[in-house]
Amino acid sequence: MAKKKFITSLNIFPRIIWDLAAHLIVSLIGTAVTFAVTGNVRFSLLFFVSGIFLDLDHLLDYVFCFKRTVNASAFFNGLATMSGRVYVFLHSWEIALGILIYAAVSSSAAPLVFGLGYAAHLAIDNAQRKNLLFYVFFYRLFKGFNTKVLLPEYNSEEERELARKAYELAFAKKSRCRKCKVPLEGFLFRWIASRLLGVKRSSLDPELCNKCEVKD
The pTM of this model reads 0.79
Can you give the pLDDT at residue 215? 67
Task: Please indicate, yes or no, whether residues 210 and 109 belong to a single structural domain of this protein.
Answer: no
Count of structural domains within the chain: 2
Task: Specify if 22 maps to a domain.
Answer: yes
Can you give the pLDDT at residue 1? 39
Q: Cβ(118)–Cβ(93) under 8 Å?
A: no
Task: Please indicate, yes or no, whether residues 165 and 208 belong to a single structural domain of this protein.
Answer: no
Can you give the pLDDT at residue 7? 61
Q: Cβ(84)–Cβ(146) under 8 Å?
A: yes
Task: Specify if 179 maps to a domain.
Answer: yes
d(CA 57, CA 51) in angstroms, rounded, equals 12
Task: Please indicate, yes or no, whether residues 28 and 61 belong to a single structural domain of this protein.
Answer: yes
Task: Please indicate, yes or no, whether residues 128 and 204 belong to a single structural domain of this protein.
Answer: no
Task: Please indicate, yes or no, whether residues 109 and 178 belong to a single structural domain of this protein.
Answer: no
Task: Please indicate, yes or no, whether residues 154 and 184 belong to a single structural domain of this protein.
Answer: no
Can you give the pLDDT at residue 2? 43
Can you give the pLDDT at residue 72? 81
Q: Collect the ranges in the chain with pLDDT lower than 70.
A: 1-11, 187, 215-216
Task: Please indicate, yes or no, whether residues 137 and 55 belong to a single structural domain of this protein.
Answer: yes
Burial class (CB in 10 A: 0-12, 13-18, 19+), 181: exposed
- Phi, psi angle pair for 137, to nearest 5°: -60, -45
Domain holding 81, by residue range, is 14-171
Residue 146's CB is within 10 A of a number of other CB atoms, namely: 12
Residue 89's CB is within 10 A of a number of other CB atoms, namely: 14
d(CA 18, CA 24) in angstroms, rounded, equals 10
Task: Please indicate, yes or no, whether residues 95 and 20 belong to a single structural domain of this protein.
Answer: yes
Task: Specify if 8 maps to a domain.
Answer: no
CA dihedral 14, 19, 25, 29 (to 10 degrees): 170
For 40-79, how does the pLDDT look when each residue is reduced to its tens digit (9 = 90+)? Answer: 999 999 999 998 899 999 999 999 999 888 788 888 889 9
**Bridge partners, 209 (sequence order):** 201
